[in-house]
Structure formats: structure tokens, C-alpha cells
Structure 1
């Protein structure tokens, strides 16, 4: 089992893991995994079995945007449509 990086190290890193996103966005792991699988938050993965890496700044802004849109009562399909139609509105 690997040792967790400090919050300071995470916040200064360009890339983070999904577990680190859980810590810094206070979003459930299962929620972030679902958003990833639905294509709502982008990630990089060098090979099939390697850890998914998320660009910290962009991903945090995207998660905040999703949370804000959810407060308006948008369904998952509506959220995905909004994110696709306005990808740069972070």
C-alpha cells in the first residue's frame, strides 16, 4: 500500500489521482468514478492498467461546475449535454 501524499504536495502537483480529488474536492469516490465513466471529467491513462491521472486545476474547476449545475436540478443527460456544448465554461 502506498503512502498518501501530503495536501501541500497534492495542491502543488499538476496531476492528481481520483483518491486525491476526493480529498481536495470533498466529493465521494463513487461520484467521481461515475463522472469519469460518463465522460464528464477528463483523465489521462498511459496504459490500460495504469492509474488514471487528472489535471488538477482543470478537473477541480470541472467538478465545481458540475456541482453548480446539479444545484439547478439538471439530470445527468442534461449535465453531459451542457458540458459538451460549452466545454470551455470553467
Structure 2
């Protein structure tokens, strides 16, 4: 089992894991996993390493945007459409 990185290291790292995104955003793991599976969050994954890596700044901004759209009452399909238009 790997050791958790400190929050200071995470906040200065260009890439983070989904677990680290949970710590940074307060969004549940299952929610972030769902967003990833639905193509709403972009990640990189090296073939030899199964860990998904997310660009910290871009992904946190996207999660914040998704949360604001949800607060406006948008559905997941509507949010996916909006995100696809802004690519």
C-alpha cells in the first residue's frame, strides 16, 4: 500500500490521483469516478501504470464548473452537452 502524499505536495503537483482530487475538492470518490466514466473528467494513464492521473488545475476548475451547473439544476446529460461544446 502506498503512502499518502501530504496536502502541500498535492497542491503543488501538476498531476493528482482521483483520491487526491477527493481531498482537494471534497467531492465523493464515487461521484468523481462517475464523472470520469461519463467522460466529463479527462485523465492520462500510462500503459504500464494503471493509476489515472488528472491535471490538477484543469480538473479542479472543471469539477467546480460541473458543481455550479448542478446547482443551477442542470441534468448530467445537459452538463455533458455543455462540456462537449466547450472542448
| TM-score with structure 1 setting the length | 0.93
2:24 matches 1:24: yes
Q: What is the Cα-based RMSD across aligned positions, in Å?
A: 1.1
Paired residue total: 87
CA-to-aligned-CA distance 1:8-65 (integer Å, 9 cap, x gap): 0000000000000000000000000000000001000012761000000000000000
TM-score when normalising by structure 2? 0.96
Question: In structure 1, the residue corresponding to 2:2 is in which secondary structure?
Answer: coil
Moved over 4 A (4+): none
What's the counterpart of residue 13 of structure 2?
13
Structure 1 gap segments, 5+ residues each? none
Question: 2-side partners of 1:24 and 1:61: how far apart?
Answer: 11
